[in-house]
Amino acid sequence: MIKCLIVDDEPLALDILEDYISKIPFLTLSKRLQNPIEALTLVQEGNIDLVFLDVQMPELTGIQFLKIANNKCKVILTTAYPEYALDGYEHNVVDYLLKPIAFERFYKAAQKAQDILCNIPSQPSPIAESAPAITNFTHDFIFVKTEYKIQKIYLDDILFIEGLKDYISIYTKTERVITLQSMKKIDEALPNHLFVRVHKSYIVALDKIESIERSRISIGDKIIPVGDTFREQFFKMIDDKNV
């Protein structure tokens, strides 16, 4: 049985997560808290296996909590703010759930935690098999499955894509879209005459590149490195477009 702790300053969020935990047989709720400092004390005592952690809290943010907890337990972030995903994965979180959280998505995250905590080899999800997060491009757009909707993204709007372990961030002209998917899958879904993988963690839109200095690509205010593995292919494409 996995001992869980919910940390959120919103009573409604606590109620929803408590209800979800009660429906999953391998989870048991040890405590629900609105005070992250009190929660941190429980974690440091070694009494908790898994924390469902909000990011935006007044006394201590979820990211600060992760830094102090220092991997004393596994953490699933629960938040309405997708921009914290990269920070979360840099601190080895199990999953990143965007509010409002559907039970199906919550259960999938709980299974990932069970696999890690009980050393169970992960298996492909039947749901993921039947509903891929990214649908191959048709003409000039792709469909991307986010936390609670399927979003249409025009290829011309994409600036670059960044890999975040099991997730990717798609940066467009107006927003950042996070989806559960691998870099390999999105790379296969995009037309290779418009997009090129330049690093294990980056795919760029060729027509959005503003400049290249040595092995660094400038797109807006973002500097993207060119990895050794991808350097030859990338510069060949650039040479082919030289005038």
Q: In tens digits, what is the pLDDT along the chain, a chain of 243 residues?
A: 999 999 999 999 999 999 999 999 999 999 999 999 999 999 999 989 999 999 988 888 888 999 999 889 999 999 887 776 666 667 788 888 888 898 998 999 999 899 888 875 444 433 333 344 554 444 578 888 877 678 888 899 999 999 987 789 999 988 988 888 888 888 888 888 889 999 999 999 999 999 999 899 999 999 999 999 999 989 888 887 665
Q: Which domains does the chain have, with CATH numbers?
A: 2-117 (3.40.50.2300), 132-240 (2.40.50.1020)
Please tell me the predicted confidence (pLDDT) of residue 136.
46
Select from 12, 7, 64 the least CA-distant residue to 36: 7
pLDDT at 190 (0 to 100): 86
3-state secondary structure of 210: coil
Q: In this structure, are residues 39 and 5 in contact, taking their beta carbons and an 8 Å threshold?
A: yes
Question: What pLDDT does 165 receive?
Answer: 73
pTM of the shown model: 0.54
pLDDT at 120: 53
CA distance 185 to 200: 13
What is the pLDDT at residue 137? Answer: 43
CB 120 within 8 A of CB 113: no
pLDDT for residue 131: 40
Angle at 121 between CA 115 and CA 124, to 5 degrees: 90
